Amino acid sequence: MIRRLGLVGLFVLVQACPALADGVSGLALYGTPKYPADASHLDYADPAAPKGGALRLAVVGAFDSLNPFILRGVAAAGGGMVFDTLTEGTSDEPFSEYGRLAETIEVAPDRSWVAYTLRPQARFHDGTPVTVEDVIWSFETLRDQGHPQYRLYYANVAKAEQIGPNAVRFLFTGTGNRELPLIMGQLPVLPKHAFTKDHPFNATTLTPLIGSGPYEVAEVDAGRTISYRRVKDWWGQDLAFSHGRYNFDTIRYDYYRDADVAFEAFKAGAIDVRVENSAKNWATGYESPAVADGRIVREEIKHQDPQGMQGFVFNTRRPVFQDRRVREALAWLFDFEWTRTNLMYGQYQRTTSFFSNSELAAEGPPTPAELAILEPYRGREPDPVFSQAFVPPATDGSGTIRQNLRTALDLLAKAGWGLRDGKLVNQASGAPLTFEILLDQPIYDRITQPYLRNLARAGITANVRMVDSAQYQNRLNAFDFDMIMDTIGQSLSPGNEQREYWTSAAASQDGSLNRAGVHDPVVDELVDKLIAAPDRDTLVATTRALDRVLLWNWYVIPQWHNDRHRIAYWNRFGHPATPARYGLPFESTWWVDSAKDAALHR
């Protein structure tokens, strides 16, 4: 998800985030930003929070690079804390951003360009100033040599040019792209002087990169642990939005090969905070003296985060999954109700949208506004898109799926598949229907195995391939898989990033997030319309229309989502009284409570 910078009015010169004495102001994509010019801090940060102490976190997998901007390698966790961007978003607004490296922002009336003036006090960690030359070099380098996502983000940016001693302007290839001026504010600015022939930008490296953010790399043990230390003389520490944030002196990420081992490390006190993603662990795994006596605190925090889509994702580049009827048939064989009762302890909700837990989700039959957008595509998309609510196949939860099996086999027969000696084979070629589900977390195997048994009842041979995190990422980048379990995250203001998720151009771009291989001109047009939406109502209607097209084409088998953060932590921290509405930014807003810490270690 890319962060978003909004716009107010037409041709404006805005004080985006001046020095503390002058307060801050911001911009919103729609409406008015929450924080006024005289705001002193974010509502979900406590300006009285003390600095100091350490935070220890766990990551499952491994890493082999400290460069998060390229396709090659697996980047270490936490790298975003090292690099500043031109603007920053907040976690209690859906569409607003405020200046970070940028002090002023200028936008053309037709949105054909956006310009930023840099703060004179902005510095990289080596003491050199952040310059316009660095901004232009970062943009061009990320576009030309960075991860393919940057080429998609910046596809409609014609060029960047210096227009003053400390000002840069980005010129666009067209007008009317409401979000593109916003995306440019999210540009990470890197030091041009730090990259040389001997230290090229596009190489994986375990040498820390120089940034301008609140933290810098302190210690690296390749693949095992990485520690960051707070920059004591950080240039941005007096900005209003920095008050009460970035409180830990050190943040350390320890890597574990297995999620169960990471859980045991937390219970043993080697890890401080755990966001629990396992329903089984949350229901049964915290029965310990430390929980009973309050040394470990468990909380469920209701949130309003869009949950996107988690599901089994078909790689439609594979011939076996190119028929929509086959994909739908396989969805009828996934028994969510049995899984929820027997494996997830009654937790989670069934996902029925790519934009779940938000107003963007398509619900019920299409509204008149949605139909007006969809009508030109009648005959090019499945008929239910235009008339029906999308409801995934359901069961009674008993584990008996006889009716679902019958429906699946009927669909498969229409697609040219039939049973022969107990195996489902293609009626024309005689080839069996077989595929592989690629996983990198053993915890997902317990979810997948019951599905494999249901597939076997239909004569389908499927198996699980478990690989390590590095191999998994490499195979995702090359689309070298049949099916995966994936989560497609979304924001409250979808826009240009949808090109990377769904468009035909992204389908053939290694490393893109279009892992399903969606290659549909209708989807391409809907994404363009979404990006150009002139107001919030149009954005919502267009997103729902896109949602319907994606759902009824069965690119995924929807699984589940949760509307609560489940978090467990050792009782040595303080946190703001007002939580963030979106996300769980404990790394940047919590602090070590010295009294609790002392009591815990007595």
Give the position of tokens 């047009």. 525
Q: Domains in the chain: how many in total?
A: 2
Let me know if residue 585 belongs to a domain: no
Model pTM score: 0.75
Residue 26's pLDDT band, with cuts at 50, 70 and 90, is low
Looking at the structure, tell me whether residues 399 and 256 fall in a common domain. no
Tell me: do 408 and 554 sit in the same domain.
yes
Which of the listed residues 218, 248, 269 is the one where a domain comes to its end?
Answer: 269
Residue 231 has pLDDT above 80, yes or no: yes
Is residue 572 included in any domain, yes or no?
no
Q: Which residue has the tokens 């002090």?
A: 103
Q: What is the pLDDT of residues 528-550, one digit of tens each?
A: 999 988 888 999 999 999 999 99
Q: What is the pLDDT of residues 138-153, one digit of tens each?
A: 999 999 999 988 988 8
Task: Please report the pLDDT score of residue 359 as a whole number.
Answer: 92
CATH of the domain at 367: 3.10.105.10
Contact 76, 84 (CB under 8 A): no
First to last CA, the chain: 43
Among 542, 561, 580, the domain-final residue is 561
313 and 189 in a single domain? The answer is no
244 and 329: one domain? no
On whether both 331 and 226 belong to a single domain, the answer is: no
Q: In sequence order, what are the residues at sequence separation of 6 or more whose Cβ sits closer than 8 angstroms to the Cβ of residue 371?
A: 386
CB-facing half-sphere around the CA of 7: CA atoms within 13 A: 25
3-state secondary structure of 386: helix
Q: How far apart are CA 117 and CA 94, in angstroms?
A: 25
What pLDDT, on the 0 to 100 scale, is given for residue 25? 55
Same domain, 251 and 335: no
Average pLDDT of the chain to the nearest whole number: 91
- 204 with 331, same domain: the answer is no
Q: Are residues 189 and 338 in the same domain?
A: no
Q: Residue 300: inside a domain, yes or no?
A: no
Residue 73 φ/ψ region, left for φ over 0, alpha for ψ in the -120 to 50 degree band, beta for the rest: left
446 occurs within a structural domain: yes
- pLDDT at residue 602 tops 90: no
pLDDT of residue 470: 87
Residues 322 and 237 in one domain: no
User: Is residue 404 a part of any domain in this protein?
Assistant: yes
250 and 372 in one domain? no
Residue 102: CA atoms inside 13 Å, Cβ hemisphere, count? 34
β pairing state of 96-99 and 26-28 = antiparallel
Find out whether 330 and 322 touch, Cβ atoms under 8 Å.
no
Query: What is the sign of the dihedral through the CA atoms of 490, 496, 497 and 498?
Result: positive
Residue 286 in any domain: the answer is no
Q: Does residue 186 lie in a domain region?
A: yes
Residue 598 lies in a domain: no
478 three-state secondary structure:
coil
Same domain? For 224 and 92 the reply is: yes
539: containing domain: 309-561
Statement to judge: residues 238 and 345 lie in one domain: no
Residue closest to 477 by CA, chosen among 139, 70, 152, 145? 70
CATH, residue 39: 3.40.190.10
Q: Are 76 and 251 in contact (CB under 8 A)?
A: no
